[in-house]
Amino acid sequence: MRSKGVLTIGSVVILTAVFAGGCDTLRFAPGEKQKQNAYLHHRTVQTAAVTARQEQTSEPLRKLTTQAEKQSEAIMAYYGLPRVIPETESVEQILSEKNRTLTNQSRTEALSRPDPWDVADNLLEMGIAIAGLAGGVMGGRIIGGLKTAQQKSRALREIVRGNELFKQNNPIMTDEFKQAQQNQSDSTRRLVAELK
């Protein structure tokens, strides 16, 4: 009985951490397009700094472009080099349609956030794997509890998504649907609102 309580508490702690914290702090690692765009940015400001010096522009502009070049080195260090280096040997290549498309794709990729359901599922999978490594009777019980929590999480995901789809496909019924949910406890309503 005691281990079942520990499993329940552990599952609740993991799910609470994921859902209470939200996904604002979660980000994917930089993808190939983002790395290529960081490299493109670095080469763009580097070329701008060289051009500003060659064309003997105003001192403030030269200082700004030199500073931007140094700042972009820090961005490159964070993102890392891409596997495929974009063409950036000339101003024309830097400003090409191909590189503009790359920048747009990178922005779309950068705005992506992990799905909280997938994060929770992955955390539960990780817990199951760790418990499997621990082995023994306790490891088996933990695995059972985490699998149950995972099944409940997946079921809840299906319910929330189904409800959202119903409201989207039946806008006339939205008020009635919300009225039917009024009997839910405050904690349930908050949880469902966070899961949406």
Domain count, the chain: 2
Point out the least confidently predicted range of 4-18, 82-96, 113-127.
Answer: 4-18
pLDDT for 187 beyond 60 = yes
Residues 85 and 156 in one domain: no
Provide mean pLDDT across the span 11-36.
65
Q: Which pLDDT does position 137 carry in this prediction? A: 80
pLDDT band at residue 61, thresholds of 50, 70 and 90? very high
Q: Kindly state whether residues 99 and 124 are assigned to the same domain.
A: no
Mean pLDDT over 70-89 rounds to 93
45 contact partners, CB below 8 Å, separation of at least 6? 65, 68, 69, 71, 72
Listed residues 68, 89, 111: the one ending a domain:
111
Q: Are residues 106 and 122 in the same domain?
A: no
End-to-end CA distance of the chain: 34
Question: Could you count the other beta carbons within 10 Å of the beta carbon of residue 49?
Answer: 21
Say how far apart CA 94 and CA 99 lie, in whole Å.
6
Q: In the prediction, which pLDDT does 129 show?
A: 86
- Asked if pLDDT for residue 26 goes beyond 80, the answer is no
Question: For residue 168, what pLDDT is reported?
Answer: 84
What's the pLDDT score for residue 12? 55
Let me know whether 107 and 123 are in one domain. Answer: no
52 and 40 part of one domain = yes
Check whether residue 120 and residue 191 sit in a common domain: yes
pLDDT of residue 14: 57
- Shared domain for 36 and 101, answered yes or no, is yes
Q: What percent of the chain has pLDDT over 90?
A: 37
Whole domain around residue 170: which residue ranges?
2-25+115-195
Q: Both 93 and 133 in a single domain? A: no
81 and 140 assigned to the same domain: no
Four-CA torsion 17, 22, 25, 30, nearest 10 degrees: 110
Decide which of 43 and 5 is more confident: 43
Res. 99: pLDDT tops 60: yes
Q: Clarify whether residues 69 and 105 are in a common domain.
A: yes
Q: What mean pLDDT, rounded, does the chain reach?
A: 82
Q: Which of 111, 129, 163 is the last residue of a domain?
A: 111
What DSSP character marks residue 20? H
In order of 51, 91, 109, 133, 165, the CA distances from 39 in angstroms are: 18, 14, 16, 41, 41
**How many whole angstroms separate alpha carbon 7 and alpha carbon 149?**
9
SS percent in the chain: helix, strand, coil, step 5:
80, 0, 20
102 and 37 in a common domain: yes
By CB atoms closer than 10 A (0-12, 13-18, 19+), residue 196 is: exposed
Backbone angles phi, psi at 29, to 5 degrees: -65, 150
Q: Which of 56, 78, 111 is the last residue of a domain?
A: 111
Q: Which residues of 8-22 are buried (b: 16+ CB within 10 A; e: fewer)?
A: eebbeebbeebbeee
Banded model confidence at residue 59, pLDDT cuts 50, 70, 90: very high
CB 119 within 8 A of CB 26: yes
pTM exceeds 0.85, yes or no: no
State whether 16 and 50 are in the same domain: no
Please give the residue that has the higher pLDDT: either 95 or 142: 95
pLDDT digits (tens, 9 = 90+) for 104-155: 999 888 877 677 777 788 888 888 888 888 777 888 888 888 888 888 888 8
